Amino acid sequence: MKNTLRFSAVLMLLVFTVSCACMKDKNTISGKVVSVEFGKDGYTARIGTDKNEVYFALISIVNLGGPQNYKKLKEGEEVTVKGEIWKTETENHIKVKEIVSVK
């Protein structure tokens, strides 16, 4: 009985780890900054991907975890960001939690 419980616990841990790893890739986008519009608490960067998709990336100090992680993106830069993705009928959005790279 103890071995069955241990095996079940290890199996559940492995499933959880794999599912989290897969979710990270889905919540990451890369592309070129097309435009930047500044707002009250941050800015929205319009990012065009290689798959001809456009994402409106909401970037703010609060969402990034503090001023040490905040960067102002410029038009033409290649960027990779992670965050929460949602879609409306006509637009793709991402609330950026991490700016992974800027080139």
**pTM (two decimals):** 0.73
Q: Look up tokens 């790279």; give the residue.
A: 101
Domain ranges of the chain: 29-102
Right CATH number for 29-102 from 2.40.50.140, 2.70.180.20, 1.10.357.10, 3.40.190.10? 2.40.50.140
What was the pLDDT predicted at 4? 75
Mind listing the pLDDT tens digit for each residue in 43-76? 999 999 999 999 999 999 999 999 999 999 999 9
- Local structure of residue 15 (DSSP, 8 states): H
Q: Which DSSP string corresponds to 34-64?
A: EEEEE-SSEEEEEEE-TTS-EEEEEEEHHHH
Average pLDDT, the chain: 87
